[in-house]
Structure 1
Amino acid sequence: MKNIKVLGPGCRNCEMTAKVIAHAAEEAGVEIELQKVTDITEIMGYGVMSTPGVVVDGQVVHSGGVPGPDLVRQWVGDPD
């Protein structure tokens, strides 16, 4: 199971990012653990200065803006 974190203050773009990720995982039939991180100290600990940021299995893969569906599908991966 992949651990995915959405980093941000809970803004509209952060919420949309979380929804896009959850939807992509559901479509792919992949189980993920999705967390929303709003603590600024923890966010800065990842080196993210522009939110929303996305961390997959401990690695920052995106920051600044809502990611596109194709990119999210790559993070979620295929269960095969």
Structure 2
Amino acid sequence: MGIEIKVAPNGRMVLPVDVRKRLGLENGGKLILNEGEFGLELTNLNQRVAKSQAFYEETSRGKPSFTVEDFLAQKRADAALEKY
């Protein structure tokens, strides 16, 4: 379910108070705006950090010292196993 938000000619918009509360923006703050294939996505920094941490947990497979090199090696190994 979406929320309809009016955008003023100068580009300003008002987020409803309940949305600001959920995003932790009661006293103002910053959001990250992403434009994707299916539209726009607004997130706050805490949501981004949580999403990145979840991605790391998933890709590190529980290894506490999983590095970028380990990740790339795993992706190469996974790709080698794929059949085209």
TM-score of the alignment, normalized to the shorter chain, above 0.5: no
**Greater RCO (CA < 8 Å, at least 6 residues apart):** 1
- TM bucket normalised to smaller: under 0.3
Instruction: Considering fraction of residues, name the structure with more strand.
Output: 1
TM-score, normalised via structure 2 length: 0.25
Instruction: Considering fraction of residues, name the structure with more helix.
Output: 2
| Structure with max Cα Rg | 2
